[in-house]
Chains A and B, each alone.
Chain A
Amino acid sequence: MKFIKQHISLIFPMVAILLGLEFFIAFDRTTKGYENSLRDNYAMLVVANDEMSIDDFKSWDSHVYKVTEIEKSKILNKVDSSLQATKDSNIHNKIPNFYSIKLNKYLNEQELERVKQNFLKSDKVKRVETFDTLHNSNYGLFSSIKLSFQTFIVFMTIIGFFLIIKQMEVWNFMHSQRMKVMDIFGASLFLRSKVLIVMGLIDAIISALIASGVFYIIQNVWIRGKHIAILEDNVDALFEFHDVFTLCLVSIVIVMVAVFLVVINVKEE
C-alpha cells in the first residue's frame, strides 16, 4: 500500500500535466487546419497607381504570400456594366490597379494594421482595405475558444506542478537522511540519488503511458463510435503514435529536474 501511495503521488500530477500537454498538442493540431482555412479565405485589397509585382509587396511586408491582380474589366463590370460596354480605353487606363493579397499566416487586428501601414508607406499604394470587421469576428471567436482552452490547460499544469513540488518535499523527507549518510561515507552524487532516479524514471514512463492510453481511448473508443462529424473529421489529429515519445520525453525531463532539485538541496548536517 505504501509502495503504491509513493508512486501514485508522483504519477497523478504527472498524468495531469501530460494530459494538459497532449490536449494542447491535439488542440493545436486540429485548430491548425481551421486556422489555415481562415487564412486561405481571407485576402486584403490593395489599390495602387502603378503595376506591382509580388516581390514589391514582399519587400514591404514579409507576411505576403500570394498576390493576384484583379482584372480591370471585372472591376468596371462590377461598377457599371454600361462602362464595360463602351470599352472606353481612357477610363480603362485611368482606373488604378487592384490587387488581392493573401497572407502566409492568420494575423490579428494589430498585425493586420501593421501590414496595412507597411503598404501605405509606398507612394505607389493609394489605398489598403483589410476588411477587418469580418476578419475580427472570425478571429475573435477562434482566439477566445483557443484562449479559454489554453487557460484551462495552464491552470491544470500549475496544479500539477504544485503537486510535484509537494512530492519533492516528501522525497526530501524520505530520502535526505539516506543521502546524507551515503555522502558521509563517500558516495558519489549518482549513487546517492540512484534510488530516486530509478523511481522517478519508472513513474515518468508509467505517467506517459497512462496519458497516451487516455488519448488512445478517447480517439478510438469514444470519438470513432459517436458519429459526430466535427469530431470525426479531426480524429486522426487528436493522437498520433509519436506523441507517446513526446510525452515520455517531457515526463522524464520534468521528473529528472525534480529529482535533481531534491538531490542538490540535501545539505550535510
Chain B
Amino acid sequence: MSNIIVAQNLTLSYERDEEIIKNASFFVRKGDFVFITGPSGSGKSTLLKSFYGNIKPQSGTLLMGGLDMSKIKKPKLQELRSHLGIVFQDYKLINEWTVERNVVLPLWIAGYSKEVQQTQAKRLLHHVKLSGKEHKYPLELSGGEQQRVGVARALAKNPFLILADEPTGNLDDYSSNVIWDLLENACQQLETTVVVVTHKIPSVFNIPYRHFTIDENGAIYEVH
C-alpha cells in the first residue's frame, strides 16, 4: 500500500514560538484510519494543520501525497487542498450560504455543473441524515447538524484523505455516532484515508485503526 503521509524528523513551530512537534517520524498508508491523541496544547491540531499546508515544517520532511510541504507553492497547495476533505471542531461553515451550497463547496470550486452539485448534495445530505434541510442556513441548525453538514462537505468530492480536527468535540451522542459511522464507511468502502485528531477515541469503533499519540514534549509515538 502506498504512503499518503510521510514525516521524517518533522519539527513544527509557529513563528518565533518554541517547537511544538519535535523530530517526528511516521507514515500513514492509503486506507488507514488514524487517531491522533494527546494532552491539550500538545500540538495535535498544529500537526493536522501542517497536513493541509496551513503551517510549514520548520525542519525535516513532510510529504503529502508525494508533495513536499516545505517547498510547496500556492497553486500546487490549492490543488492538493481541493483533493482533501477537512472537518473542523468549529465547523467552519459559510453562514450566509445555504446548507446545500456549503455541502457542494468543493464541487463548486472544482467547477462541477449545477446538476452534479444538486445530485451530490441530495445524496450527501441523505447520508448525514439532513434531508429536507437543503435550504436552511447553518445558524438555523443545531451544533450536531452543523457538524454533519461539515462532514458532508468533506465527503463531497470523494477525497483521498479526510482530516478531522475534534469532529465530535462538542456534539451529542447521536450526532457523534452519525459522524463516526460516516468516517468509518468512507474509510472502509471508499478506501479513503482518515486522520482524526481527538482527545478521546470512541469506545465503540467498528474498523481497525492506528493510534498515534503526542506527549508533552512534542514527540509522536504509535500506540500498539
Chain A residues at the B interface, C-beta cutoff of 8 Å: 177-178, 180-188, 191, 268-269
Contact = CB atoms under 8 A, between A and B. Distances in A.
Which 5 A/B pairs are nearest by Cβ-Cβ distance? Answer: A186-B82, A186-B81, A186-B78, A187-B109, A178-B94
Interface in B72-105: 77-84, 86, 92-97, 105
A268 B49 CA distance: 11
Given A187-B109, A191-B109, A268-B54, A181 B92 contact: yes
Interface of B: 52, 54, 77-84, 86, 92-97, 105-106, 109, 153
Contacts of A269: 54
B81 A185 contact: yes
Contacts of A178: 94, 96-97
A177 B95 contact: yes
B8 to A, nearest CB: 25
A183 B92 CA distance: 12
30 contacts: A177-B92, A177-B94, A177-B95, A178-B94, A178-B96, A178-B97, A180-B92, A181-B93, A181-B105, A182-B105, A182-B109, A183-B81, A184-B81, A184-B86, A184-B92, A185-B82, A185-B86, A185-B105, A185-B106, A185-B109, A186-B79, A186-B80, A186-B81, A186-B82, A186-B83, A186-B109, A187-B78, A187-B109, A188-B78, A191-B109
A182 B94 CA distance: 9
Nearest to B85: A185
Contacts of B97: 178
A168 B41 CA distance: 35
A154 to B, nearest CB: 38
A186 B84 CA distance: 9
Contacts of B79: 186
Contacts of A188: 78
A181 B78 contact: no
Given A184-B54, A186-B80, A186-B106, 12 more contacts: A177-B94, A177-B95, A178-B96, A181-B92, A182-B105, A184-B92, A185-B86, A185-B153, A186-B79, A186-B82, A186-B83, A269-B54
Nearest to B52: A184
A56 to B, nearest CB: 64
A181 B93 CA distance: 7
Contacts of B95: 177
A50 B97 CA distance: 86
A181 B94 contact: yes
A158 to B, nearest CB: 32
